[in-house]
């Protein structure tokens, strides 16, 4: 097999250089192309979703309105938002009384090499195109979050803020795995455009923006989690920022970090089956984290989850990120817990009746199908599963409360609880009658022997 060495980069199938190829060889593999296609920076952390995850629901990972970064740049259905990006850049320059963005272009040109290395796939863009993308996308993001935080900056003609639906969709798409810019790009642009009166840090401002987008009670932004955040690795991008701060309560984290001698655990039964053994379900009170699930004395306390049409999309992108990122996997573990509780629409109906699920998606069967498919092709770490102790407590309670044969007997032969009660009464009456008959025969036998 020949290798082209004539200085220019050939394409696949190009004839080999004369004198260097075996007569039987018909293919020349250009080494420059191999190097470009398969060389990957060890620092890369912005990747495309793997095929196995994507094939379950490809639309969950594709942007519908806005492209951020190089992976979806230039797609026809995303071009309308490019106008908003240029508009935001223009308003930023006007507010700062700057004639051109040359200062930001030069700053991003200095970061080009570092930014390119953050992407797991080779970015086929010229320096000019790549730097323009960093400036345009980066300034749009920081201005959007600024406007959300400060009403004075909002333009009455801005369609994103005139319709909350549009703002919500854009916010969701800033959390897609394939729609990311390196966080150091955003942080630098934010600092370069910061005013003297702007005291709030960008990451704090961004967390407030996304707190209303993630499912459940959302992200707690405050000093009570500062010690937790310090233990985490440096922030990689917006998705990583939110994932690093979408946490259980400090008490829950502390409890999960305690050493456990026995890591063995089994999955729990569905909600309806657990109800059959006497376990009750109650929505948790207060502003708890979505992940703060408790089980005490035969009763679950679970925070309320409102399910919209885009809930699956948000869950899937966090799961994809956690699957390949070091650290806790709270979203993966939570969705696995819900998958255990929910097998069918009846389980969803039970949780909805308890106030744990608010279903804005559609039928109960649709919600069940969503949770049943979320963890397809997702690797579960059995040694670090956040709810392992809770699962053990639930299974221990089930074994002590009812025997398995009694549950199966009831489910198999009795359609309603009243059938079970009626049969128990009849059985008791028959037992009482037999006891009475036995007593009568014993008395008659005694008198007969006496005579």
Mean of all residue pLDDT scores within the chain: 84
Both 156 and 228 in a single domain? yes
Point out the least confidently predicted range of 80-84, 217-221, 360-364, 396-400. 217-221
Both 424 and 398 in a single domain? no
Both 172 and 151 in a single domain? yes
Both 94 and 131 in a single domain? yes
Looking at residues 353-382, what average pLDDT do you find? 95
Looking at residues 237-249, what average pLDDT do you find? 94
Residue 1 lies inside a defined structural domain of this protein: yes
Point out the least confidently predicted range of 68-72, 252-256, 384-388. 252-256
- Asked whether the whole model's pTM tops 0.85, one would answer no
Instruction: Using CA atoms of 393, 397, 400, 406 in order, give the dihedral in degrees to the nearest 10.
Output: -130
**Whether the predicted pLDDT of 302 surpasses 90:** yes
Both 346 and 222 in a single domain? no
Point out the least confidently predicted range of 49-63, 200-214, 218-232. 218-232
**Whether the predicted pLDDT of 224 surpasses 50:** no
| The domain boundary residue, chosen from 180, 211, 245 | 245
pLDDT category at 229 given cuts 50, 70, 90 is very low
Which range, 8-12, 228-232, 442-446, is most confident? 442-446
Both 113 and 136 in a single domain? yes
**Whether the predicted pLDDT of 451 surpasses 60:** no
**C-alpha triplet 243, 304, 172: angle, nearest 5°:** 40
Alpha-carbon span 390 to 385, nearest angstrom:
10
pLDDT category at 3 given cuts 50, 70, 90 is very low
Looking at residues 260-269, what average pLDDT do you find? 79
Give the containing element (helix H, strand E) for 4: none
Residue 253 lies inside a defined structural domain of this protein: no
What does the DSSP 8-state code read for residue 46?
Answer: B
| The domain boundary residue, chosen from 191, 217, 245 | 245
- What is the total count of domains within the chain? 4
Residue 203 lies inside a defined structural domain of this protein: yes
The string of pLDDT tens digits covering residues 98-136 is 999 999 999 999 999 999 999 999 999 999 999 999 999
Q: How far is CA 74 from CA 63, 112, 342, 389, 393, in A?
A: 12, 20, 40, 48, 52
What does the DSSP 8-state code read for residue 267?
Answer: P
Residue 433 lies inside a defined structural domain of this protein: yes
Both 68 and 198 in a single domain? yes
**What is the share, in percent, of the chain residues with pLDDT greater than 70?**
78
Residue 170 lies inside a defined structural domain of this protein: yes
Domain enclosing residue 437, as ranges: 414-450
CB-side neighbour CA atoms (13 Å) of 324:
15
**Whether the predicted pLDDT of 202 surpasses 50:** yes
What pLDDT score was predicted for residue 382?
Answer: 82
Both 201 and 235 in a single domain? yes
What is the phi-psi region of residue 307: left when phi exceeds 0, alpha when psi lies from -120 to 50, beta otherwise? beta
DSSP 183-246: HHHHHHHHHHT--TT--S-HHHHHHHHHTTTSSTT----SGGGHHHHHHSPPP-SHHHHHHHH-
Q: What backbone torsions phi and psi does residue 28 show, to the nearest 5 degrees?
A: -110, 125
Point out the least confidently predicted range of 25-29, 295-299, 376-380. 25-29
pLDDT category at 273 given cuts 50, 70, 90 is very high
Both 104 and 178 in a single domain? yes
Residue 251 lies inside a defined structural domain of this protein: no
What pLDDT score was predicted for residue 40?
Answer: 54
The residue among 27 and 302 whose pLDDT is bigger is 302
Residue 390 lies inside a defined structural domain of this protein: yes
pLDDT category at 243 given cuts 50, 70, 90 is very high
Residue 250 lies inside a defined structural domain of this protein: no
What pLDDT score was predicted for residue 169?
Answer: 94
Looking at residues 249-256, what average pLDDT do you find? 83
**Is the CB of residue 188 less than 8 Å from the CB of residue 139?**
no
pLDDT category at 435 given cuts 50, 70, 90 is confident
Both 238 and 295 in a single domain? no
Both 189 and 97 in a single domain? yes
Both 299 and 240 in a single domain? no
| The domain boundary residue, chosen from 245, 276, 301 | 245
What pLDDT score was predicted for residue 349?
Answer: 98
């Amino acid at each position: 097999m020949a290798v082209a060495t004539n200085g220019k980069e050939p394409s696949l199938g190009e004839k080999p250089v004369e004198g260097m190829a075996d007569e039987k060889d018909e293919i020349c593999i250009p080494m420059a192309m191999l190097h470009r296609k398969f060389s990957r920076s060890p620092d890369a952390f912005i990747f495309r979703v793997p095929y196995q995850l994507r094939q379950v629901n490809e639309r969950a990972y594709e942007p519908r309105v806005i492209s951020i970064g190089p992976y979806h740049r230039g797609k026809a259905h995303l071009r309308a938002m490019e106008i908003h990006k240029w508009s935001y850049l223009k308003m930023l320059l006007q507010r700062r009384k700057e004639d051109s963005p040359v200062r930001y272009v030069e700053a991003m040109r200095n970061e080009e090499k570092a930014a390119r290395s953050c992407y797991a796939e080779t970015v086929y863009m010229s320096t000019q195109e790549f730097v323009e993308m960093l400036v345009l996308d980066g300034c749009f993001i920081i201005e959007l979050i600024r406007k959300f935080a400060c009403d004075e900056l909002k333009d009455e003609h801005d369609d994103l803020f005139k319709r909350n639906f549009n703002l919500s969709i854009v916010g969701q798409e800033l959390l897609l795995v394939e729609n990311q810019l390196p966080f150091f790009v955003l942080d630098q642009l934010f600092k370069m455009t910061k005013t003297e009166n702007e005291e709030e840090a960008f990451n704090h401002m961004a967390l407030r923006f996304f707190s209303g987008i993630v499912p459940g009670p959302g992200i707690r932004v405050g000093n009570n989690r500062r010690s937790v955040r310090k233990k985490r690795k440096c922030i990689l991008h917006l998705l990583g920022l939110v994932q690093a701060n979408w946490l259980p309560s400090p008490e829950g984290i502390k409890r999960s970090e305690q050493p456990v001698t026995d890591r063995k655990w089994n999955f729990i039964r569905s909600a309806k089956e657990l109800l059959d053994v006497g376990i009750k379900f109650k929505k948790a009170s207060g502003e708890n984290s979505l992940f703060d699930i408790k089980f005490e004395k035969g009763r679950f306390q679970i925070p309320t989850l409102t399910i919209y049409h885009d809930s699956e999309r948000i869950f899937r992108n966090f799961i994809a990120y956690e699957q390949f990122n070091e650290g806790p996997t709270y979203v993966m573990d939570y969705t696995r817990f819900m998958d255990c509780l929910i097998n069918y629409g009846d389980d969803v109906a039970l949780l909805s009746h308890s106030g744990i699920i608010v279903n804005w998606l559609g039928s109960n069967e649709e919600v069940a199908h969503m949770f049943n498919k979320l963890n397809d092709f997702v690797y579960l770490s059995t040694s670090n599963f956040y709810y392992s102790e809770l699962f053990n407590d639930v299974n221990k309670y089930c074994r002590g409360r009812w025997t398995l044969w009694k549950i199966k007997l009831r489910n198999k032969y009795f359609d309603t609880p009243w059938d079970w009660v009626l049969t128990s009464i009849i059985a008791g009456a028959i037992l009482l009658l037999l006891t009475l008959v036995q007593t009568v025969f014993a008395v008659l036998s005694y008198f007969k022997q006496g005579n």
